[in-house]
Structure 1
Amino acid sequence: MSKPNVPVPVWLTSNETLAAACKDWLHEEFLALDTEFVRTTTFYPKAGLVQVASSKGCFLIDPLSISDWSAFTDVLQAESVTKVFHACLEDLEVCRQLTGAVPSPLADSQLAAAMVGLGASLGFQKIIAALLSIELDKEETRSNWLARPLTEEQVQYAVADVYYLRKIWPMLVGQLQQLQRTDWLAEDCARTVEEASETDVPGNYYRRVKLAWKLRPQEQHVLQQLVVWRELQARERDVPRNKIIDDNSLWNIARYKPKAKDQLNRSGLKPEMIRRDGNTVLAVMREAMEDEKDLWPAVLDKPLSPDAGQLLKDIKQIVVNRAEALNIPPEILARKKPLEALVRSGWKTGRYFLPDTLSGWRKNEIGDVLLAHLNQSASEPECS
């Protein structure tokens, strides 16, 4: 296994130097990109570095020195330039935070690696070792990227990420083409861009709270309103959500509905949270309890019945078998939530429908097979 050997990067620390580089990047077929950020005490990521590798070299953009991102935004949105990331979700958030734009067209090397049979959710270090026999040091991952000057180790680490990403990308594209799976990647990455570009709906976040389905309909509405309030406060104060109130406490408040501040501690709230936000939390709860039923959200699904759960296990096994035949991870072919949505779509009626996430290439590879199995199960007496 070889040690990394990366080039000296070009630093872009002014609006003018960034704009000049972006002018050149608009002529590239693809760019390898990465971001480094800090997000330990804030809601939003604080960008510390943006790395770019082009055919002409490696570049480090200093976000602490840049005030005009318009030229870089043009690059991120240029249809002729593919933006290649590895495990891109957090990077997309950083790009959107800096520029207001989500990179498109997008390619994700982690997803590409899974689609060519290298494994599921592979870290960058493992992919580089597998394809280039180079051992990367990842010790700087959680270092302070807002510090200046950056250490030589940080710079080497940051450059290596895009330098080697640019080297492996043509290799992954070649394998995708050989397997006739380039459309798979394009479709999934386009969906990722679409989802990352969507406007957040805080009213849906309560669905993420564990065991929210156990609450009564009105209590689910109370939880929803409490979660909306917390979300807006976390963004306004730029702190992590649990620094406002954690999920368990919100669930307890929605379920047990304390009547006064001195009862909030039983819900799990810390004293400082009660002092700071206790009265507001109680007001949000009371107001939600007074809302008419037509303002309540649709009741959350309960866990599948034992019979439906067995059907879910059956189609999961079909997915596993098909994934083995394709030499890809089962979760690339179909994840649990879409499979559960598929079972729910027709459990009571016997008429099953594929969710959007099982459309496209997945419909051909697994969706139609699953529908056929479910329709056959629905026609059997024990499942009717």
Structure 2
Amino acid sequence: MSQNTPPGQTDLFDLPPLVDTPDALAELVADLRDQSWLAVDTEFLRERTYYPQLCLIQVATPTGRVACIDPLALTDLAPLWSVLTDPGITKVFHAAAQDVEVLLQAAGAVPAPLFDTQIAAALSGLGDQVGYARLVEARLGVKLDKSASRADWSQRPLEPELLRYAGDDVRYLAELYPALRDELAARGRLDWLGEDFARLADPAAYANPPAEAWRRVRGHHQLDGAGRGILQALAAWREEAAAEADIPRGWVVRDELLLEIARRRPRNAQRLGKLRGSHKLDEATRDALLGRVNATLDEPPAQWPAVEARPQLEPAGEAAVDALMAVARLAAEEAGVSVASLTARKELERLVAGETDLPVLQGWRGELAGRRLHAWLAGEIALVGRDGGAALA
């Protein structure tokens, strides 16, 4: 919004064009093909569907051009997909994962190569998982209006304030990217981001195998082997049913009921009917759930999934984790990054337990912290008190 625009009003000069015809898309794509990088964002809905509904794609170029592309009006977005998957054009996102997932679903390919300003900001000392609005305000001094963050982007026509909001999500991203990129390059940290960005660009990262859906149900760690097996079977069936009907998982069966069925293990409709929330199920759903409960209980226990257990450490091991957290904090402070961007206590517990295939030991995290953690464990450096604080010696 222009600084001279009264609150609650929209400056029409700030509105990006809405590209909603084949000719307008062709003209835009011709310009995008000539760019070395693009700022990209999306607006989508998934409250009423299983698959995200892509409602808007925003782009900004190094030359300052901003445009919003309407996938609900355009039947052929192949020209745009060819740009977003062009290996010679870097696609810049903020907190890229959801946008990449949505574009992968729509285009059938990941928009790569990519650059994530949220990850880059962590290496610039701006904190772990910093939000876009906070980053824009911290770096550019612009306070964004986020009142439209819960808008229904499927409604047409789009109101001017929504177009302005959508445009701002890439307008300032295009200003942030060169500054963050050049700063990290000057500090010798730009190459450190390669592994993180490669993971974001890996289509396998967005796979959603039904057999793993049970791990997203809160409380699954509390179940025993049979309960985990039942929950795995129920959650897999629900995932497939939701995908087939293109409705949210919770519209099929809520998490709470799945977990309760896994705990109580009803083998017939009478016992299932005693569980809270089961009266809302139709007959076909009840039959499907009971069929999977009975089939799982008839399986050999060896087929039930295991929960990844946290290492059980002795008091000396817990003390070692405390010391490693202190080492990590010192490394983070020296590097000007947040300790959360380097590691977490759970990871250090695994390190003390003897695991070595850990993110903190790899890539830029290994450079900043991993070597020191190893050195402390090997007795090569010590954590000492100094001037009322801690230091490595």
Name the aligned partner's letter for residue 328 of structure 2: V
CA contact (8 A) 1:354 1:371 kept: no
Aligned to 1:35: 42
For 2:276 and 2:379, locate their aligned partners in 1 and report how far apart those are by CA, in whole Å: 49
For 1:374 and 1:207, locate their aligned partners in 2 and report how far apart those are by CA, in whole Å: 32
For 2:349 and 2:244, locate their aligned partners in 1 and report how far apart those are by CA, in whole Å: 36
CA contact (8 A) 1:116 1:179 kept: no
Name the SS for the 1:187 alignment partner: helix
Matches within 5 A, 1:180-329: 180-194=188-202, 197-273=205-281, 275=283, 277-301=285-309, 304-305=312-313, 307=315, 308-329=317-338
For 1:337 and 1:232, locate their aligned partners in 2 and report how far apart those are by CA, in whole Å: 32
Name the aligned partner's letter for residue 35 of structure 2: E
Name the SS for the 2:109 alignment partner: coil
Rate the CA distance shift 1:317–1:146 in 2: closer, same or farther, 3 A.
same
Name the aligned partner's letter for residue 366 of structure 2: K
Name the aligned partner's letter for residue 199 of structure 1: A
For 2:335 and 2:264, locate their aligned partners in 1 and report how far apart those are by CA, in whole Å: 50
Aligned to 1:143: 151
Name the SS for the 1:48 alignment partner: strand
For 2:271 and 2:146, locate their aligned partners in 1 and report how far apart those are by CA, in whole Å: 47
Matches within 5 A, 1:1-384: 3=3, 7-54=14-61, 55=63, 57-194=65-202, 197-273=205-281, 275=283, 277-301=285-309, 304-305=312-313, 307=315, 308-344=317-353, 346=354, 352-356=355-359, 358-375=361-378
Name the aligned partner's letter for residue 181 of structure 2: V
Rate the CA distance shift 1:98–1:16 in 2: closer, same or farther, 3 A.
farther
Name the aligned partner's letter for residue 339 of structure 1: L
Aligned to 1:381: none
Q: What is the CA-CA distance between 1:100 and the residue it aligns to? A: 1.3
Moved more, 234-243 or 141-150: 234-243
CA contact (8 A) 1:212 1:300 kept: no
Q: Is the helix fraction higher in 1 or 2?
A: 1
Q: What is the CA-CA distance between 1:180 and the residue it aligns to? A: 1.4
State the superposition RMSD in angstroms: 2.6
Rate the CA distance shift 1:125–1:173 in 2: closer, same or farther, 3 A.
same
For 2:66 and 2:80, locate their aligned partners in 1 and report how far apart those are by CA, in whole Å: 15
For 2:168 and 2:232, locate their aligned partners in 1 and report how far apart those are by CA, in whole Å: 44
For 1:53 and 1:64, locate their aligned partners in 2 and report how far apart those are by CA, in whole Å: 20
Rate the CA distance shift 1:252–1:374 in 2: closer, same or farther, 3 A.
farther
Rate the CA distance shift 1:56–1:172 in 2: closer, same or farther, 3 A.
closer
Name the SS for the 1:23 alignment partner: helix
Moved more, 95-104 or 329-338: 329-338
Name the aligned partner's letter for residue 9 of structure 1: P
Name the aligned partner's letter for residue 259 of structure 1: R
Q: What is the CA-CA distance between 1:303 and the residue it aligns to? A: 6.5
CA contact (8 A) 1:11 1:61 kept: yes
Deviations 1:343-371 (A, max 9, x none): 44x2xxxxx41325641222222223223
TM-score, length of structure 1 as denominator length: 0.87
Name the aligned partner's letter for residue 330 of structure 1: V
Moved more, 282-291 or 306-315: 306-315
TM-score, length of structure 2 as denominator length: 0.85
Q: What is the CA-CA distance between 1:127 and the residue it aligns to? A: 1.5
Deviations 1:49-70 (A, max 9, x none): 1100112611110010122222
CA contact (8 A) 2:49 2:248 kept: yes
Rate the CA distance shift 1:196–1:160 in 2: closer, same or farther, 3 A.
farther
Deviations 1:191-250 (A, max 9, x none): 122266553222223223334233222332222111111111222222222222233322
For 1:148 and 1:208, locate their aligned partners in 2 and report how far apart those are by CA, in whole Å: 34
For 1:143 and 1:27, locate their aligned partners in 2 and report how far apart those are by CA, in whole Å: 33
- Structure 1, unaligned runs of 5 or more: 347-351, 378-384
Name the SS for the 1:134 alignment partner: coil
